[in-house]
A and B are shown apart, each in its own frame.
Chain A
Amino acid sequence: MRILVLIAAAVAAVSGFAGGYWGVGEIFSLEGPRDGAMGGAMAVPLFLPEAAHANPAGLGFAEGIHLASSYSLRFGTLRLYSLAAAGGNWGARVISLDAGALGAGLSYTAYGVVLSGGLHLGDALAVGLAWKGFFQATPGEAFGWALDPAFLLRLGGVHLGLVVENAASAPIDYGGHREPWPWGIRGGASLSGEIGDAAVTLAVNARYAATASLDFGVGIEVARGIWGLRMGYGSGGFAVGASLGLGDYGVHWAIVLHPYPPPTVSVGASWGSGG
C-alpha cells in the first residue's frame, strides 16, 4: 500500500496545479443509480461496468460483457443520460448532461467520454487507466481531456482502491478561456461479508482535490436473492436505492436527498454475462 501512495503522490506532484478553478470536470463524478445510492463511495469499484469511471483497475478482474444505461433527473432540472460497457480489461462510458432550454435562447449541453483499461498483476493487485474527454456543445463549444491512473488491492473480503484524478491533462478550452483540471486523490475501502443468507458490503471513500475541496462518502449494500438494497451518505446528501435482478438483467433505482435543492432521482438497467 505504501508503494501505491508513493506512486500517487509522485504522479500528482509531477502533474502540478497552478491556481485554477473549482469544480472542473465534475461531470465525471455524476453517478447512476447503483453508485449514487452508495453515497459515491466507489474508489473500490463495486459494480460493472461502473468500474470504467469509478476505478478502472477493477476492469483488470472483469470477465464477460457488462452493459448499463441510466437516466437521472438532478434537482428536478438537469437531465443526465449514461451508457456504459465493460469487459475483460476494458470499459467505456458516455454521459450527457442537459439543462434544457433556459430562456432567451440559452441552453446547456455537455458530454463526457471515458475510455478505460485495467490489468491485474497477480491475484490481489490490479492497475488501470482512464481517459476522460469533456465536450461542451452549448452555450459554446469546448474540449479538454485528462488521465486517471488507478490501483486496486484485494485482500480477502477487504478491497482497497486508489485513483489519481487528472494526473495528466489538457485544459478545457472554451475558445480562448482555458480551465486546467485540478489533480486529486480518491481513496477508499470496501468490506464484504455475509450476514445470514444476505451478502453485505460496506464501502467508504475520501476524495481530495487540489482546489482544496474534501469530500467523503459511505455506503452499504445488502443483497439477498433477487433484491439489492443500498443506503449511503456523501457530500451531495443522503441516498437510498434498490436493485432487482432477473437472471442476467437488472433494474436499478436511487434517490439522493440534498439538503436544499430538490432530490435527484435515478433509474437504470443493466445486463451482464460471464461473471
Chain B
Amino acid sequence: MAAPHVTGVCALLLSLAPDSTWEELRAALVGGAREDRYTGWDLPDTAWGYGKVYAPAAAAELSPPAPVGAPMLEVVTAPAVSEAIFRYDLPAGTMWAELRIYDILGRPVWTEELSPGGRIARWDLLTSGGMPVANGVYLAVLVADSGASPPVTVVVQR
C-alpha cells in the first residue's frame, strides 16, 4: 500500500537532487522515516520497517538544508477589512513553511501551509473552524524549518 507514496517521494527527491544514486535515495528514505504512536518508538521492526516515509526529513537527509537568515513576513493590508494579505520571503533551502495567526490571548486561530517558492499569503479573517474573527488585533508568525519570523501585528477593522 505504501509503494505509490514512496515512489512519489522518490520522484520529489530526484527533482531536488537529480544525480542521486539509488543507494543515496534509500539512505534518505530510511534516515528520514518517522516514528509515531502508531508505529511505536522501537523501529525498525517487521511490521513498520523503518517507519513512515516523510518527505521533508528525507529531503533534508539527501540535501541538508542550508538556509541563511530568518523568514521574513510583513502585512500588506493595514487594516484588514475583508482579508489580510502578507508578503513573505523564505531563506533558500526552506522545505516547508506555515503562516500562523494568534489572538491576543495567544490562542492559535488559523494556520495555513505556504509554498516555499511563493511570496504572497492571504488570510480570509476566519478561524480554522470557518468562523469570522472579531475586529481587533491579531498576531501573525511565519514558521518554517529554517526558523520563525518576528511576529507581525494584524489589525482587523471592518
Contacts and interface: CB of A to CB of B under 8 A. Distances in A.
B136 A110 contact: yes
B131 interface: yes
A215 B107 contact: yes
Contacts of B109: 22-23
Given A29-B105, A235-B106, A235-B107, A260 B78 contact: no
B102 A260 contact: yes
A215 B106 CA distance: 12
Given A21-B133, A23-B133, A75-B106, A260 B141 contact: yes
A74 interface: yes
Interface stretch (A60-68, A98-106, A267-275): A98-106
A259 B108 contact: yes
A16 interface: no
Interface centre among A23, A78, A259, A260 (most CB of B within 10 A): A23
Given A21-B131, A179-B135, A76 B104 contact: no
A236 interface: yes
Interface in A82-120: 97, 99, 102-104, 106, 108, 110
Contacts of B158: 174, 177
Given A99-B137, A102-B153, A139-B155, A260 B127 contact: no
Given A102-B153, A174-B158, A177-B158, A26 B102 contact: no
B76 to A, nearest CB: 10
B151 A77 contact: yes
A179 B157 contact: no
B106 A258 contact: yes
B157 A24 contact: no
28 contacts: A21-B131, A21-B132, A22-B133, A23-B103, A23-B134, A24-B134, A26-B105, A26-B134, A27-B136, A29-B105, A74-B104, A106-B79, A108-B137, A139-B79, A139-B155, A172-B135, A174-B157, A179-B134, A211-B131, A212-B129, A236-B105, A236-B106, A237-B106, A258-B102, A258-B106, A259-B108, A260-B148, A261-B106
Closest 7 A-B residue pairs measured CB to CB?
A236-B106, A258-B106, A21-B134, A24-B134, A23-B134, A22-B131, A177-B158
Contacts of B129: 22, 212
A29 B105 CA distance: 8
For the side of the interface on A, what is the size category?
35 or more
B106 A26 contact: no
Interface of A: 20-27, 29-30, 74-78, 97, 99, 102-104, 106, 108, 110, 136, 139-140, 142, 172, 174, 177, 179, 211-213, 215, 235-237, 256, 258-262, 264
Given A26-B136, A174-B158, A211-B131, A104 B106 contact: no
